[in-house]
Amino acid sequence: MDKLRMIGGVPLVGEVKIAGAKNAALPILCACLLTDQPITLRNVPDLQDVRTMIKILQEMGVQVSFPDATDHHHLVLNAANIKSSEATYEMVKTMRASILVLGPLLARMHSAKVSLPGGCAIGARPVDQHIKGLKAMGATIHIKGGYIEAQTTASVGRLQGASILTDMITVTGTENLLMAATLASGTTILENAAREPEVGDLAELLVKMGAKITGIGSDRLVIEGVEKLHSAEHAVIADRIEAGTFLCAVAAVGGEILVKDCRPDTLDAVIVKLKEVGLEMEVGPDWIKASMRGRPKAVSFRTSEYPAFPTDMQAQLMAVNAVAIGNSTITETIFENRFMHVQELNRLGADIAIEGNTAIAQGVEKLSGAIVMATDLRASASLVIAGLAALGETQVDRIYHLDRGYDRMEQKLTLLGANIERVK
């Protein structure tokens, strides 16, 4: 198993180029199932979850090609010949986002069998809202042997448009129902829809494919179903969480970096908090120049749905608070168990206590290097930031979590001058 070894205390200086967003690329890859024509994608991040999704699609019969051998971010997907509408337990257990094939398969193939994702390290994460929405659109769904078995009514064939109000805001739930609705007969209204930029990016691709969607970017999506979708080209939106992660790194470690090819307009809540921390930022249309001198100031915050502060940035900003001047409270409202990095940060000398869904951090002047273990994707990023800020050597084990969601993180950090290496 790979590990990352780093010697902390070196300021970050230089430029970093942000990749396409993992959480936009995953639903966008699944959208290819909605048509028998090719979909060309650019700016697809080269990371483990994307490779897993490609494998799932290939098992269904989707042809995936890389037209330019030197560019792994440019893909063409062709789902003309679907030979299986099944996502197996073996695949879904490695990546919950596999549930995103359910809506498109049901819409185009009129049946789907997808393993029910189990619990997850950060929370129970049920998919009841996905199922409830598809049932409202006329699907018959049974859970059998751990699988979601879904069919449209044989006499009608297509899903039927419906008004759907989800009980909570769900990102992949909105994406699944949005994709399903594009090929339904009649109009679907999705109320309480997630407004995350990744949902908007998926919707933009669907419109290019011929879908009729209004309300993109709002919490009310109206989809007028069409009979067929067609070929399209799309570049995946920049990863706001990767950009935010590098901004937190410079806030904790110090230095001056230029974050390139990002979308500052999707980072408002993160930028507001990092200004409070004392990070100096100049913001352009697709870049952020950030510099930090001295120790950060502690900031309290709570996570919530977009446009509020993202849960996917909670662990990274907590690493900044760990070395900040002052105390902070961090409240996690999206997932019930997303504080597993706290014990590991404390092994590096942080002083953080958990009370229910709130973490209380007393900033310390210096962390000291240690061996720590990554428990999930964003927790890994938090430990890397803390390790880069700590005195001496830190080793982050189980780095496969990081590889699921960051495109060459340690290479990018090395280019910024960090003393970090991957150990096999």
Q: Which residues are catalytic?
A: 120
Q: How far is the CB of 280 from ligand EPU (least distance, A)?
A: 28
Q: How far is the CB of 207 from ligand EPU (least distance, A)?
A: 20
Site string for ligand EPU, 198-237 (x = CB under 6 A): ----------------------------------------
Closest CA to 289 of 316, 260, 249, 268: 260
One of 152, 172, 266, 291 touching ligand EPU (CB under 6 A): 172
In 101-239, alpha helices (H): 102-109, 128-136, 171-182, 197-208
In degrees, to the nearest 5, what angle opens at C-alpha 403 toward C-alphas 400 and 406? 150
> Cα–Cα distances in Å, from 69 out to 38, 44, 58, 61, 65?
18, 14, 19, 22, 9
Q: How far is the CB of 150 from ligand EPU (least distance, A)?
A: 14
The reply to whether 143 sits near ligand EPU by the rule CB under 6 A is no
Classify burial at 107, counting beta carbons within 10 Å of its beta carbon; exposed 0-12, middle 13-18, buried 19 or more: buried
Site string for ligand EPU, 307-326 (x = CB under 6 A): ----xx--------------
Amino acid occupying residue 194: A
One of 130, 158, 263, 295 touching ligand EPU (CB under 6 A): 130
Q: How far is the CB of 362 from ligand EPU (least distance, A)?
A: 27
Coil, helix or strand at residue 373:
strand
In 137-192, alpha helices (H): 171-182
What's the number of CA atoms in the CB half-sphere (13 Å) around residue 293? 0
Closest CA to 21 of 194, 256, 196: 196
> Cα–Cα distances in Å, from 389 out to 119, 197, 245, 251, 371?
33, 30, 14, 10, 14
Closest CA to 45 of 25, 69, 31: 25
One of 43, 52, 129, 152 touching ligand EPU (CB under 6 A): 129
Residue closer to ligand EPU, measured from CB, 173 or 296? 173
One of 80, 168, 325, 353 touching ligand EPU (CB under 6 A): 168
Coil, helix or strand at residue 159:
coil
Q: Which window, 38-46, 103-111, 122-130, 258-266, contacts ligand EPU (CB under 6 A)?
A: 122-130
For the chain, the farthest-separated pair of C-alpha atoms sits apart, in whole angstroms, at 69
Q: How far is the CB of 171 from ligand EPU (least distance, A)?
A: 4
Q: How far is the CB of 68 from ligand EPU (least distance, A)?
A: 26
Total of chain residues touching ligand EPU, rule CB under 6 A: 24
Contacts of residue 119, defined as CB under 8 A and 6 or more positions apart, other chains included, come to 125
Q: Which window, 60-68, 101-109, 125-133, 351-359, contacts ligand EPU (CB under 6 A)?
A: 125-133
Q: How far is the CB of 201 from ligand EPU (least distance, A)?
A: 11
Residue closer to ligand EPU, measured from CB, 231 or 304? 304
Q: Which window, 20-28, 61-69, 219-227, 313-321, contacts ligand EPU (CB under 6 A)?
A: 20-28
Q: How far is the CB of 95 from ligand EPU (least distance, A)?
A: 8
Contacts to ligand EPU from residues 378-397, by CB under 6 A? 378
The reply to whether 98 sits near ligand EPU by the rule CB under 6 A is no
**Centroid of chain to Cα 326:** 30
Taking a C-beta distance cutoff of 8 angstroms, is the pair 383, 345 a contact? yes
Contacts to ligand EPU from residues 181-200, by CB under 6 A? none
Q: Which window, 84-92, 141-149, 167-175, 352-360, contacts ligand EPU (CB under 6 A)?
A: 167-175
Contacts to ligand EPU from residues 54-93, by CB under 6 A? none
Q: Which window, 10-18, 119-127, 313-321, 367-375, contacts ligand EPU (CB under 6 A)?
A: 119-127
Structure tokens at 288: 């952020």
Closest CA to 401 of 373, 422, 377, 383: 377
Task: Match 């699921």 to its residue by tokens.
Answer: 404
- How far apart CA 324 and CA 321 sit, in angstroms, is 5
Residue closer to ligand EPU, measured from CB, 180 or 298? 180
Closest CA to 163 of 221, 212, 100, 105: 221
One of 246, 309, 335, 339 touching ligand EPU (CB under 6 A): 335
- How far apart CA 371 and CA 387 sit, in angstroms, is 9
The reply to whether 171 sits near ligand EPU by the rule CB under 6 A is yes
The reply to whether 23 sits near ligand EPU by the rule CB under 6 A is yes
Q: Is 14 left (phi over 0), alpha (psi -120 to 50) or beta?
A: left
Q: Which residues bind ligand EPU (CB under 6 A)?
A: 22-23, 26, 97, 123-130, 168, 170-173, 311-312, 334-335, 377-378, 405
